[in-house]
Chain A
């Protein structure tokens, strides 16, 4: 591996909900431009883990260190809250499973995409507008819909809008929670294509949580399999899917329905 610092370094991470395990003793690194997939059955701790590493849930134990642009690796839970929130809206992006959680439904698509620019102090309407429309084009949105409200959009469009909204500040790390669930298969394929293109073109590192192994095969470079809050297998995606070592992974891979 290269000599650079990992972009995100997760060490000995554990979180418990009372005596229930949320996730336990998780370790991994993510480097620039890398896509990490996290799979597992529902209740296996995927979302808990994603919440912790994206700064939304403080873990009981362990550390999450992000390689900040200026000060190098820093534990995100030891930063002050303003610093963490600034990081979250500049260097990070979070794409939610339900686009309604990640978008402002009562303002237009253009304003949704431009919000992050305004949040970091851009005060020129024309610039904000042109940047927003650039990004709407990049996610293959019809520019005629720029001033329409997200309520009038289809599920696939909402997801693409959410992606544009997150990528406009050129984040280095994007978290995606089930980005394609609830979309029909053809829309899923288009969205996956788009995400794959953007991620490789911009060199964004990405953590994707999904239970869809097809999505993982397409998008992720490395794959982590979780069960009952623990990582049971971790390796290159093709390796894990083609030659699973752990019994649970074997079961998971074999349970994909052939079409």
Chain B
């Protein structure tokens, strides 16, 4: 039984954990939050541009979402409702702990329902439910520099961004097609924002790339270890790189979700025994649940918990 299902009531929002004494609202001190907000404002003003910021040490290791958590801490207010997902799921370790962290340090309401949340922090997915203009999506980013794989020098990549010298990005795609006959990059698929900056969308599957284009919600990206923040403002053009004769495509599955039957969501392959039996299920756990509820016309009770 996971922590989230323990203190969950039937309408999907969770009971508030006890607020910890001795911490500033949402953990970070106000000076740090101002600094991060300045970086965010600059990032929003220059879509796709990586703004350096003084990343702080957070009470979790680099690579676990320190960038996203700092961005969330800087933008969250007392009335916000927070949702945290990890690989689409609300009840994995990372998601549960970050949600509890803000529950304890900020005392904000948390939820698993995509459409109820005002701030959604995510690792590696965009929710299947379309987001609205009242929401903010915060991504956790491990490596913010999309040119890094082909150009190792930071001085050079900055210059390439400044001069919009992006030919080398297509060298990577060319290599894919030359060796495998198609573009095999399936996650962290580079995009061009507002016809200007090339941006790493963080390791979301390329299935989610089209959702970024003209998204009504504000998208913020935080890379804690690499000390960069970047953003895609609402309704901004986001184009995935491709060749004219090899257009961008997203993943597709022959199967439908084994739980809810959805045929248009991102599916995870789950191995169920040692004989190789497998099933495909939605990676977005909240979306899957809602689909089942729609089908059965009854609220779904998870893990036998009927509180």
Whether A and B are associated in the same complex: the answer reads: yes
List chain A positions with a Cβ less than 8 A from chain B.
81-82, 85, 104, 106-108, 110-111, 114-116, 118-121, 123-126, 128-129, 146-147
B179 and A147 contacting across the interface, CB-CB below 8 Å = yes
Shortest distance from the beta carbon of A6 to any chain B beta carbon, whole Å: 28
Closest 9 CB pairs of A and B: A119-B167, A118-B170, A125-B243, A118-B167, A124-B244, A82-B163, A111-B174, A111-B171, A147-B178
Q: At the interface, yes or no: B18 with Cβ under 8 Å from chain A?
A: no
How far does the alpha carbon of A82 sit from the alpha carbon of B174 in the complex, in Å? 25
B243 proximity list for chain A (CB < 8 A): 123-125
Best-buried of B150, B178, B242, B246 by chain A (most CB within 10 Å): B178
B255 proximity list for chain A (CB < 8 A): none
Q: At the interface, yes or no: B195 with Cβ under 8 Å from chain A?
A: no
A121 proximity list for chain B (CB < 8 A): 167
B170 proximity list for chain A (CB < 8 A): 118, 123
* Residue in B171, B179, B245 whose CB lies within 8 Å of A124: B245
Shortest distance from the beta carbon of B37 to any chain A beta carbon, whole Å: 32
B167 proximity list for chain A (CB < 8 A): 115-116, 118-121
* Residue in A81, A106, A116, A125 whose CB lies within 8 Å of B174: A125
Shortest distance from the beta carbon of A111 to any chain B beta carbon, whole Å: 5
Q: At the interface, yes or no: B60 with Cβ under 8 Å from chain A?
A: no
Q: Which residue of B lies closest to A120 (CB)?
A: B167
* Residue in A108, A111, A125 whose CB lies within 8 Å of B245: A125
Q: At the interface, yes or no: B177 with Cβ under 8 Å from chain A?
A: yes
Best-buried of A116, A120, A123 by chain B (most CB within 10 Å): A123
Q: At the interface, yes or no: B35 with Cβ under 8 Å from chain A?
A: no
Shortest distance from the beta carbon of B239 to any chain A beta carbon, whole Å: 12
Q: At the interface, yes or no: B168 with Cβ under 8 Å from chain A?
A: yes
B15 proximity list for chain A (CB < 8 A): none
Shortest distance from the beta carbon of B98 to any chain A beta carbon, whole Å: 36
A121-B167, A125-B243 are known; give 7 further A-B pairs, CB within 8 A.
A107-B171, A108-B178, A108-B179, A114-B171, A123-B243, A128-B174, A129-B178
B177 proximity list for chain A (CB < 8 A): 125
A106 proximity list for chain B (CB < 8 A): 150
Main secondary structure of the interface of B (DSSP, over half): helix
Q: At the interface, yes or no: B165 with Cβ under 8 Å from chain A?
A: yes
How far does the alpha carbon of A209 sit from the alpha carbon of B168 in the complex, in Å? 29
* Residue in B165, B175, B244, B246 whose CB lies within 8 Å of A108: B175
* Residue in B150, B163, B245, B246 whose CB lies within 8 Å of A104: B150
How far does the alpha carbon of A153 sit from the alpha carbon of B280 in the complex, in Å? 45
How far does the alpha carbon of A42 sit from the alpha carbon of B39 in the complex, in Å? 51
A115 and B244 contacting across the interface, CB-CB below 8 Å = no
A116 proximity list for chain B (CB < 8 A): 167
How far does the alpha carbon of A125 sit from the alpha carbon of B245 in the complex, in Å? 6
A119 proximity list for chain B (CB < 8 A): 165, 167-168
7 residue pairs bridging A and B, Cβ less than 8 Å apart: A104-B150, A108-B175, A111-B178, A115-B167, A119-B168, A125-B177, A128-B174
A146 proximity list for chain B (CB < 8 A): 178
Q: Which residue of B lies closest to A146 (CB)?
A: B178
One digit per residue, 1 when the CB lies within 8 angstroms of any chain A CB and 0 when it does not, for chain B 66-100 equals: 00000000000000000000000000000000000
Best-buried of B150, B163, B243 by chain A (most CB within 10 Å): B243
B179 proximity list for chain A (CB < 8 A): 108, 147
Q: Give B166-220 interface residues, CB cut-off 8 Å to A.
A: 167-168, 170-172, 174-175, 177-179
Shortest distance from the beta carbon of B291 to any chain A beta carbon, whole Å: 38
A114 proximity list for chain B (CB < 8 A): 171, 174
Shortest distance from the beta carbon of B286 to any chain A beta carbon, whole Å: 38
How far does the alpha carbon of A120 sit from the alpha carbon of B165 in the complex, in Å? 9
How far does the alpha carbon of A155 sit from the alpha carbon of B51 in the complex, in Å? 42
A82 proximity list for chain B (CB < 8 A): 163
A147 proximity list for chain B (CB < 8 A): 178-179
How far does the alpha carbon of A116 sit from the alpha carbon of B167 in the complex, in Å? 7
How far does the alpha carbon of A129 sit from the alpha carbon of B244 in the complex, in Å? 13
Best-buried of A82, A115, A118, A146 by chain B (most CB within 10 Å): A118
How far does the alpha carbon of A107 sit from the alpha carbon of B175 in the complex, in Å? 7
A115 and B171 contacting across the interface, CB-CB below 8 Å = yes
B246 proximity list for chain A (CB < 8 A): 125
How far does the alpha carbon of A126 sit from the alpha carbon of B172 in the complex, in Å? 15
A85 and B165 contacting across the interface, CB-CB below 8 Å = yes
Q: Given A85-B165, A125-B245, are A110 and B178 neighbors across the interface (CB < 8 Å)?
A: yes
Q: Which residue of A lies closest to B160 (CB)?
A: A85
How far does the alpha carbon of A108 sit from the alpha carbon of B179 in the complex, in Å? 9
Shortest distance from the beta carbon of B183 to any chain A beta carbon, whole Å: 10
Q: Which residue of A lies closest to B172 (CB)?
A: A107
Shortest distance from the beta carbon of A89 to any chain B beta carbon, whole Å: 8
